[in-house]
């Protein structure tokens, strides 16, 4: 039997935690391993219990969700933990910052229960959590703003084809669409995406989209 997906919750609102707890407990393939009320608490929990997925409020008192996210994604002991941030608004600069910092994706707090379950399972599997259109809309809204960062320092390590693929990822294309655009096989497209992720140290496609915008390769 396959081991259940181990999930942790971080939110300062007891009612939100209670709802998520009930949702997770009702699923045979999910296991709630802990809850936290603030960022410092979820960081300690993640290091101790190493959950597969953390559902984390982006705004919490004390140590906020962004600080906690950056700490978790930078910790080698939490390399296999995927963080899904919870927010009230889709077009939120905090969401852009979270995707930049390595979040697997985000969920609006009033999403349907089925969306939460889908997000947990996709994040645990390492799959793309957000539709490309949503990802590019959020990142495109903020990547060109006053806080835009300089291009990635390792961008020069990419081959010309990998830069081209990075730009297509930034435009929201999936691997099959990239393959069609470049007239290559889907396996070849996947290989180029994977190599770009490794060279740039990106945790997932969402980070590749951020890098593409910051490099002026998309948007």
Q: How many CB atoms lie within 10 A of CB 64?
A: 17
What does DSSP say about strands 30-36 and 53-57: parallel, antiparallel, or unpaired? unpaired
Tokens at residue 150, please? 């300089």
**pLDDT for position 54:** 96
Q: Is the dihedral of CA 160, 164, 167, 173 positive or negative?
A: negative
Q: Domain 5-130: which topology?
A: Rossmann fold (3.40.50)
Q: pLDDT averaged over consecutive 10-residue blocks of the chain (219 residues)?
A: 92 94 96 95 96 93 90 92 86 77 85 90 78 64 59 90 92 87 94 93 80 81
Question: What are the sequence ranges of the domains in the chain?
Answer: 5-130, 151-214
Q: Are 69 and 100 in contact (CB under 8 A)?
A: no
Distance (Å) of CA 124 to CA 4, 137, 148, 165, 202 = 10, 24, 30, 25, 17
End-to-end CA distance of the chain: 45
Q: Give, as one character, the DSSP assignment of residue 203.
A: S
CATH top-level class of 151-214 = mainly alpha
Q: 3-class DSSP state for residue 6?
A: strand
């Amino acid at each position: 039997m396959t081991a259940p997906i181990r999930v942790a919750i971080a939110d300062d609102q007891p009612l939100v935690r209670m709802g998520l707890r009930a949702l997770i407990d009702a699923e045979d393939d999910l296991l709630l391993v802990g809850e936290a009320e603030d960022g410092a608490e979820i960081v300690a929990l993640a290091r101790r219990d190493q959950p597969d997925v953390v559902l984390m409020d982006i705004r919490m008192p004390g140590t906020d969700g962004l600080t906690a996210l950056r700490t978790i994604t930078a910790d080698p002991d939490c390399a296999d933990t995927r963080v899904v941030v919870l927010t009230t608004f889709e077009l939120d600069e905090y969401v852009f910052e979270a995707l930049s910092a390595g979040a697997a994706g985000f969920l609006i707090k009033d999403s349907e229960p089925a969306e939460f379950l889908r997000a947990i399972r996709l994040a645990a599997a390492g799959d793309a959590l957000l539709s490309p259109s949503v990802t590019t809309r959020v990142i495109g809204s903020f990547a060109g703003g006053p806080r835009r960062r300089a291009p990635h320092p390792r961008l020069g390590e990419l081959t010309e084809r990998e830069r081209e693929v990075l730009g297509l990822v930034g435009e929201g294309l999936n691997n099959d669409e990239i393959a069609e655009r470049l007239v290559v096989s889907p396996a070849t497209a996947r290989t180029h995406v994977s190599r770009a992720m490794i060279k740039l140290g990106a945790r997932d496609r969402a980070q590749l989209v951020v890098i593409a915008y910051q490099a002026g390769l998309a948007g």
